[in-house]
Structure 1
Amino acid sequence: MSVVDCIDKLVKTGQITRQIADEALGLYERSRGEFSRSMGPASAEAAAGLAAARALESSAKRLKNDTAKQAIAWAKAEERILSHPKGRVAGVMSMLTRDIWEAGGENVATKGEVIWAQLSRKVDQALEAYSPGIFGQSRQQIAGVRNLVREVFGVETGDATAKAAAAGWKAAEKEAVDRVTAAGRNLPASEDWRVPQFWDTLRVRTFTREEFKADFAAEVDRGALTLWDRDTGAPAKMDRRDFVLDRAYRDITVGDSTATAFSPEQRTFQFSGGADGAEAWLRLSEKYGAGENVFGLLMGHLHKMANEIALAEVVGPNHGAIVRAALTMAKEEEAGLSRLQRLNPLRMLESRSIAERTYDVLTGRANAVDGPLMAGFFGGLRSLNVSSKLGGAIVSAIPGDSVTTALAASYNGIDPGRILSGVIREIGRGGEESRALAARLQLTAHAAMDSAHGFVRFAGEASGPQILRAMANTVIRAQGLAAWTDMMKRVFTMEFMGNLADHAGHSLDALRGVNEPLANFLDRHQISAKDWDSIRAGAPLEVEGARFLDTEAIADRTLREKLVGAIIEERAFAILEPDARIRAVMTGGTTAGTFWGEMVRSATLFKSFSMTMVATHMMRLATQGPIEKRIWNGTAFVLFNLLAGAAAIQARAVLYGKTPEAMDNPGFWVRSGLQSGSLGVYGDLINASTSRTGRSPISDLAGPAIGAAEDVARLSSQQLRRLMEGDDTTLGAELVRTARRYDPSLWYTRLAVDRLLFDQLQTLVDPDYRASFRRAEKAAQRDFGQSYWWAPGDGLPRGVR
């Protein structure tokens, strides 16, 4: 009986699964091909059969072990869901992302970030060398990443940096595979896996099927590429090659080609090792895949692996099955809700449907695009809005983040003055030393991870064509917002570790009398007295006289990751960023590329930050601690946020050519409230609509789709009506206003661009320009008690001429 017949018989008798059989058959075919180079046909077949038999034995043992791990994982998940004090839905959500009820326990989102930081340490040299600057990667960096790929394929490039980076990539990939395997994922060995394959649906669609097939066939003919026929479990024969390539083109162009982080199936395209395979991968990826952004592809895949490991470790190896069962339990609970309970506003943050969408965000399924053309058009509008509306976002971020960070620090027993001194120290030193220290403490992934992956604070906001996404990301980075966010994250986490080191001499019971908020932090994150004793037993890390709790001195990895995850969750209150829950809420369960999906994404643009404030500080104020403490904290929250909003309004006024506003009217403090914290984005929109664009605030807040429709109406139907009625058209003036509206100027260039470019253009095309400028001055004086130090229409500031 042949090896193939034996394996088929094992499947029919139920001794192995079809998946294991396919893996064994694939190994048998590959091994026979390899052995035949040095053996005769009979010996090669015998050796390949032995290799397949050993693989079958190993797979059967792994399957039995993994089945047991899956059963244990489900038992833990069920207990956790049923025991959550706020019910089953809250229990499901607490497994997936940070628990808004703060009942504790590991979750996938936080665990994924912890693992991401650990994996990123393996590729730290690549992050240092290849992370993009303000305007993206340089040509030299792009060339370096290409050498990294060559080194991974086994090519000696003579590039020492690329060689070290490739070694780091291999180490990170191995650690990721080892962890997910240990968690119970039954992964087949894939000896030809080197770098991820990503074939961009939109890119591939720009080429004909025949050109696509010809390019890949040419690489096959060169010996750089092998086509794998998944129907036969073997390399594609000549008479099947056209069919396999046809199917690959179809799968990619319908968006069904993205492999998971740990893809168990044999890939259609298997690149050979050495220079031929490396160059083939680079050529095809540049044309049909990530283009020049190979670095982003690699780092994005690292992030995907971290999330998948977290899913396997927190939920279970077959997390899809466990989540489906958990959602059924949540549905049963929701079936018993009364009509009044269904109207609870918190269901906007926590319900069975939100849990399902959150899981889709974590697995990447929420990123699916149904209609690339529509997604590209509306995504481009969103990117234009990010560029034009957020050029001064840092003006709101600095006072807003300072307040939320101080509140988060105080809540955890850290002196807010310690955070302030840390910020001043960081600004003075430039941050290089602390970035290395933060990575050493395993507290945060390198800042370059955000740059490669897409600036995380606005992830999902910038989309559409690549050039518009790049422009939006450049605006975010060039104004200093990315650097500010990274610095604040780093300072908060490092000072948190310093505070823990300062109190390491106290047991948990003693700590309750010395620093009760810090003890509450340990309780809140289920770190027991025994755990705390293990944590504080290690020697602290001393740097220039400062002491930090050294995470590497914590021998138990599970405990170390629990502590780091707890600090990351508290950091979410300091620097507000939309998490998986908020992204699930903002998409409404719709798919990108559909009409309603794009309308929802347009309407919710920028709204995720106010929702994040609700899910963090406002939930904490409403649910945590005795009522008198909540009232005190709530008063401080409102007061300090009002002051932060007022500071942002006055700073923006000066930066945009006006004197500070009068502060003796209620309207100013209402707008200060809107400007405060994460709500400051709305202040940016209101300011843009009243001072730069001439567009109504409602259309700006309704999203770019409505705003674009208003622009079209102003430039077409309104002008046509005026022409038909015999009035002079204002097309020139409207064109200038529209250009001003989409101008991506930054906070330090916007005033000069307004006065020296757009105001001068308006004088050329608008016969009413002088009256328009004077109306603006009178309105500022009437409404806000302001005058201009650089008035509209003036070529120079007043007092300079």
Structure 2
Amino acid sequence: MPSKADCVQAVIDGGLERTDAVAVVEKMLKKKRELKAEGGLNRATDELVDLLAKESEEAAIAAALNRKQVALTILKRKNVDSFISQVEGEGFHFLDAMEAMMVGSSKKFSGARNSVSRKMRGIQRRWQGGILSELEALDGPVQKLLLKDKDFQNDVAKAMMEPENFKGKLAGQVAEVLGKYCEDARLRMNRAGANIGKLEGWIPQSHDQSKLLSKTLGGRAGWVDFVMEHLDAERSFPDMEEDDVRTALESVFDTISSGKDLKTNAKAKGEHVGPANLARSMTKHRVLHFKSADDFLQYHEIYGRGNVLDNVLGHLDMSSRKLALMDTFGPNPEVMLESLIEAEKLRVRNDVDAARSYVNFEKLRNMRQEMTEPQIKAHAEQRLNNAWSQGRVVSGKLAHWYAELNGETFGAVRPTAAKIASVTRAVMSMGKLGGATLSAVADVFVKAINARHHGNSLLNSWKTAFDMRFEGLSSEEQRKIYRSLGTMIDGTLGDLAARFEAQDSHLGSTSSHLNRFFKWSGLTAWTEANKSGYVHMLSTELGHVSGLVWEDLPEATRRILDWQGISMEKWEVLRYAASKEVDGNTHLLPEKVWALDDADIDPLIEHRLENFRGDDEQREAFQQRLRTDMRRELETDLMGYYADETMYAIIEPDEKTRAAMVRGTRPGSGWGEAARFVTQFKSFPIAYIQRTMSGKRWKRADVDGLDLMGVSHYVATSFIMGYLAMTAKDLSKGRTPRELVDKDGKINMGTASAALLQSGGAGIYGDFLLGKVNRFGGGFLGTIAGPAVSTASSIGVSINQLYTGEPTKGRDGLIREALNNTPYLNLWYTRAAFDYMVGYHIREMISPGTIKRTQRRLKKEYGQEMLLPVENIKRGGGWR
């Protein structure tokens, strides 16, 4: 009989590494001992042979995957090191390069915007636009059914799990579209280093943390009992006994109810834990398999959230995040990032010249200070420590960016607390943002200065800024163009992905109300129209110059493409994807890269073929995979370019903005909720500072020095558009415009400052320094602590007045806060009418004389009067 060593050697000879071979043999010997104990000696040989074959195959797959991940890691590390060297060669340092790769930098060097964030958004837009276009092409009211018909939603879910029962039916066609994009995500993840098997009848699952923890549903024990009854245990946990399945399910419950794998809890204790391999974590995904579609739907009804489209979109969102991270930093991004930082620390310890780039010597000279070489090295290392520090709480900009990119800030620590806080903030939004559409009018100038940044003349920039066209009224063919460019998506998905359940959770109901509120306010249509108009300019701009080689491109266009990571080599391929579309314009559409000839793509991949070892057939297969990967890369680059540049013109928060707001914290935690309350309504000014002000977008991209015309244009239009928006908001409230010129003929500085704030020109700092109110109507406390704290403070003051001898002021304050925070009541086109017909009368009944006091205050503080004849309202309420 062969020895254990002989068995191990035999398995090694079969192609496995020694570690894997030892594990296989150990498992086989254990199984042999179990069979002997059971008296199954006669069947031991057959079962051991089967076990050996199965384990050897699985180990071989694991070994191959490990080799693939190592190769990918080496390749990505080479690319990252090359980029860092290039950035340093252009006069910047390591942290600038890391910022560029993760969330994009406003500094001007090649690839400064070619970030994980941009790639993620490009992938998302490609999938989302594709889904919408294909759903709209189906014969039937798909959007209406997905939005309002729960039976149809359930049929789509069943069709994804049991497609043979829905062939030829509309639900089956919808399921086929959704399944197609889930499959594309799986294949792309595998190319990036994962090993996610194809599962027939698979559908993304959702879990509502508050329902999982509900005592009414029995908590963990109740969840395990329910799942055991409906689970396909053999498929989910093969070769496990019932008790082992229950133990495994308890572990699954702990993970999904906390939103975090509890196996890493040593990190929370301040102990070192190796970062999880992102690719392998994706491989382990999709644990629960139900007996039938009906069992799945029963689970979803009780413990899930959202509808089938919502689940698919959520799955694709998280897939795009993982994919973009792995595409840049390899299968284990966190390890790569830590390795890069440690290598840079070692470099600055040993090379004072490398450390010098971290020191602001000009500031030191102004302060008449000097630093020794050891101090310079220590300063550089401290900056690196501050960027990413380990411990009980991971802190630093790089760590916060990674947490945001990876989706770690989405899972709630305490689901109930997170839900209450989320609903509170949603009520604040619906109570206070009824006039946000009018504020957004002021931001037209942001669109204009960005059009000028791209090299347009002033007149043409403003033509682009006002060229919105209300694309929702366009033809179906026109809408397809905009979907393929990544716009006209958010508004539709906001409707389609609204949570729809019979036993709706507060979060689901609130999400639906928020979608409806912003749609009714006009903000959704306004934003989509602006995006479509601007991306139309970008696409036709590139289409117009597609006949030019890199050297002949306009300087502004060439620089922006370079910052976005679209190199000369890529441009020489992409420009052949230009095509004339139904609107009569030549566009550069991302999807058109798939129509390019292989000969067009080959120059971009030939360097990967130089060292290939294999026969002609293997070489051809490898070359075809490289072509497919390059087409995907070009498509993502172009879609990411449109998405990122559009976010400069129509300001929206991105991962960098969110990281600055929540700082790596999770919902439901004390610090996490404090951060979210304090920064509510501040995403626009923070994003404005990060993009417009830090990026100096008032300058043309082809101007190196001071752009005096750009600065003048920026300041003047900021003031003018801000005053127009402020006037529109005053009129919607039934007030006359604020005085721009006082009685002495001088500019009213209070009005001028407020106008700048309304346009976003001074951002959040202007709220602190110049204005009595911020752009959403809150005071100083609201600016600092957020609207919820400000409102609670005002209510507290009013209650105190009721019991301290000022009951009239107290009652008036309470009713005013109630009216100002009632959802839907403050829409810009209804508020003045409501106040005149109802609101003023209520306030008069509770606090007689309040209207006259309001008139006096408006006149004294702002020089304004009420437009409507409030003299007709009697003291105490009612009409005269």
Secondary structure of 1:360's partner? helix
Kindly tell me: are residues 245 and 44 of structure 1, through their superposed partners in 2, closer, same or farther at Cα, counting changes over 3 Å? same
Q: Of 169, 172, 175, which residue of structure 2 is paired with 1:166?
A: 175
Secondary structure of 1:424's partner? coil
- CA shift, 1:577, in A, is 0.8
Kindly tell me: are residues 138 and 681 of structure 1, through their superposed partners in 2, closer, same or farther at Cα, counting changes over 3 Å? farther
Q: Of 481, 491, 512, which residue of structure 2 is paired with 1:437?
A: 481
- CA shift, 1:110, in A, is 0.9
- CA shift, 1:647, in A, is 0.7
Kindly tell me: are residues 699 and 319 of structure 1, through their superposed partners in 2, closer, same or farther at Cα, counting changes over 3 Å? closer
User: In 2, Cα distance between the equivalents of 1:288 and 1:143?
Assistant: 18
Tell me the equivalent position of 2:845: 764
Tell me the equivalent position of 1:280: 295
2:453–2:556: 8 Å Cα contact kept in structure 1?
A: yes
Tell me the equivalent position of 1:419: 464
User: How does 1:707-746 map onto structure 2 within 5 Å?
Assistant: 707-722=790-805, 728=807, 732-744=811-823, 745=825, 746=827
Tell me the equivalent position of 2:516: 474
2:442–2:758: 8 Å Cα contact kept in structure 1?
A: no
1:387–1:472: 8 Å Cα contact kept in structure 2?
A: yes
Which stretch shifts more, 646-655 or 259-268?
A: 259-268
Q: What TM-score, normalized to structure 1? A: 0.82
Tell me the equivalent position of 1:672: 755
Tell me the equivalent position of 1:551: 590
Q: Of 92, 95, 113, which residue of structure 1 is paired with 2:101?
A: 95
Tell me the equivalent position of 2:672: 597
User: In 2, Cα distance between the equivalents of 1:683 and 1:395?
Assistant: 19
Tell me the equivalent position of 2:243: 239
Tell me the equivalent position of 2:116: 108
Equivalent position amino acid for 2:233 in 1: T
Which stretch shifts more, 500-509 or 332-341?
A: 332-341
Q: Deviations over 1:671-715 (max 9, x none)?
A: 11010047689999999979999x744345521342244144235
Kindly tell me: are residues 329 and 394 of structure 1, through their superposed partners in 2, closer, same or farther at Cα, counting changes over 3 Å? farther
Secondary structure of 1:269's partner? coil
Q: Of 729, 734, 738, which residue of structure 2 is paired with 1:661?
A: 738
User: How does 1:548-627 map onto structure 2 within 5 Å?
Assistant: 548-554=587-593, 555=596, 556=601, 557=631, 558-621=633-696, 626=703
2:72–2:330: 8 Å Cα contact kept in structure 1?
A: yes
Aligned length: 747
1:412–1:520: 8 Å Cα contact kept in structure 2?
A: no
Equivalent position amino acid for 1:201 in 2: Q
Gapped runs of 5+ residues in structure 1?
A: 29-39, 456-462
Tell me the equivalent position of 2:432: 389
1:609–1:679: 8 Å Cα contact kept in structure 2?
A: no
2:118–2:644: 8 Å Cα contact kept in structure 1?
A: yes
Tell me the equivalent position of 2:570: 531
Tell me the equivalent position of 1:307: 321
Kindly tell me: are residues 678 and 388 of structure 1, through their superposed partners in 2, closer, same or farther at Cα, counting changes over 3 Å? farther
Q: Deviations over 1:64-103 (max 9, x none)?
A: 1221111111122233234424211111111112222142
Q: Of 206, 226, 250, which residue of structure 1 is paired with 2:233?
A: 226
User: How does 1:102-501 map onto structure 2 within 5 Å?
Assistant: 102-105=108-111, 106-124=114-132, 128=136, 138-140=147-149, 142-155=150-163, 156-157=165-166, 160-185=169-194, 187-189=195-197, 191=199, 194-208=202-216, 210=218, 213=221, 217=225, 220-221=228-229, 225-226=232-233, 234-256=238-260, 263-265=282-284, 267-272=286-291, 277-290=292-305, 292-329=306-343, 351-352=387-388, 353-400=396-443, 402-414=444-456, 415-420=460-465, 422-424=467-469, 426=471, 429-430=473-474, 432-441=476-485, 447-450=491-494, 465-501=507-543
Secondary structure of 2:468's partner? helix
Gapped runs of 5+ residues in structure 2?
A: 32-42, 263-275, 350-354, 365-375, 389-395, 500-504, 602-630, 742-747
Tell me the equivalent position of 1:15: 18
Kindly tell me: are residues 381 and 327 of structure 1, through their superposed partners in 2, closer, same or farther at Cα, counting changes over 3 Å? farther
User: In 2, Cα distance between the equivalents of 1:211 and 1:19?
Assistant: 41
Q: Deviations over 1:376-396 (max 9, x none)?
A: 333333222211121110101
User: In 2, Cα distance between the equivalents of 1:196 and 1:783?
Assistant: 56
2:428–2:788: 8 Å Cα contact kept in structure 1?
A: no
Tell me the equivalent position of 2:721: 644
User: In 1, Cα distance between the equivalents of 2:143 and 2:92?
Assistant: 44
User: In 2, Cα distance between the equivalents of 1:287 and 1:333?
Assistant: 55
- CA shift, 1:121, in A, is 4.4
Q: Deviations over 1:256-289 (max 9, x none)?
A: 36998973226552224xxxx2111111112112
User: Is residue 2:782 matched to residue 1:782?
Assistant: no
User: In 2, Cα distance between the equivalents of 1:196 and 1:468?
Assistant: 23
Kindly tell me: are residues 170 and 468 of structure 1, through their superposed partners in 2, closer, same or farther at Cα, counting changes over 3 Å? closer
- CA shift, 1:161, in A, is 2.8
User: In 1, Cα distance between the equivalents of 2:50 and 2:132?
Assistant: 41
Tell me the equivalent position of 1:35: none
- CA shift, 1:657, in A, is 0.6
User: In 2, Cα distance between the equivalents of 1:63 and 1:249?
Assistant: 29
2:469–2:533: 8 Å Cα contact kept in structure 1?
A: no
User: In 2, Cα distance between the equivalents of 1:378 and 1:7?
Assistant: 58
- CA shift, 1:648, in A, is 0.2
Q: Deviations over 1:344-364 (max 9, x none)?
A: 9xx99x955112111110111
Secondary structure of 1:657's partner? coil
Tell me the equivalent position of 1:706: 789
Which stretch shifts more, 65-74 or 595-604?
A: 595-604
Q: What TM-score, normalized to structure 2? A: 0.75
Equivalent position amino acid for 1:365 in 2: E
Secondary structure of 2:153's partner? helix
Kindly tell me: are residues 62 and 637 of structure 1, through their superposed partners in 2, closer, same or farther at Cα, counting changes over 3 Å? same
Equivalent position amino acid for 1:698 in 2: L
User: In 2, Cα distance between the equivalents of 1:19 and 1:211?
Assistant: 41
Q: Percent identity?
A: 21
User: In 1, Cα distance between the equivalents of 2:796 and 2:108?
Assistant: 49
- CA shift, 1:245, in A, is 4.1
- CA shift, 1:730, in A, is 5.3
Kindly tell me: are residues 540 and 247 of structure 1, through their superposed partners in 2, closer, same or farther at Cα, counting changes over 3 Å? closer
Q: Deviations over 1:284-318 (max 9, x none)?
A: 1121121x444222211111111211111122122
2:235–2:289: 8 Å Cα contact kept in structure 1?
A: yes
User: In 2, Cα distance between the equivalents of 1:10 and 1:754?
Assistant: 83
User: Is residue 2:791 matched to residue 1:752?
Assistant: no
Q: Deviations over 1:761-801 (max 9, x none)?
A: 112221xx32x2112223333333332222557569xxx99
User: In 1, Cα distance between the equivalents of 2:320 and 2:60?
Assistant: 29
Equivalent position amino acid for 1:783 in 2: E
Equivalent position amino acid for 2:634 in 1: L
Tell me the equivalent position of 2:608: none
Which stretch shifts more, 108-117 or 778-787?
A: 778-787
Secondary structure of 1:195's partner? coil
Kindly tell me: are residues 787 and 178 of structure 1, through their superposed partners in 2, closer, same or farther at Cα, counting changes over 3 Å? same
User: In 2, Cα distance between the equivalents of 1:750 and 1:682?
Assistant: 29
The alignment yields a C-alpha RMSD, in angstroms, of 4.3
Q: Deviations over 1:423-481 (max 9, x none)?
A: 13637x357543311223467756434556789xxxxxxx9844444433432222121
User: In 1, Cα distance between the equivalents of 2:284 and 2:22?
Assistant: 9
Q: Deviations over 1:106-132 (max 9, x none)?
A: 311111111112223442367658998
Equivalent position amino acid for 1:271 in 2: F
Answer with 1 or 2: which has the greater Rg. 2
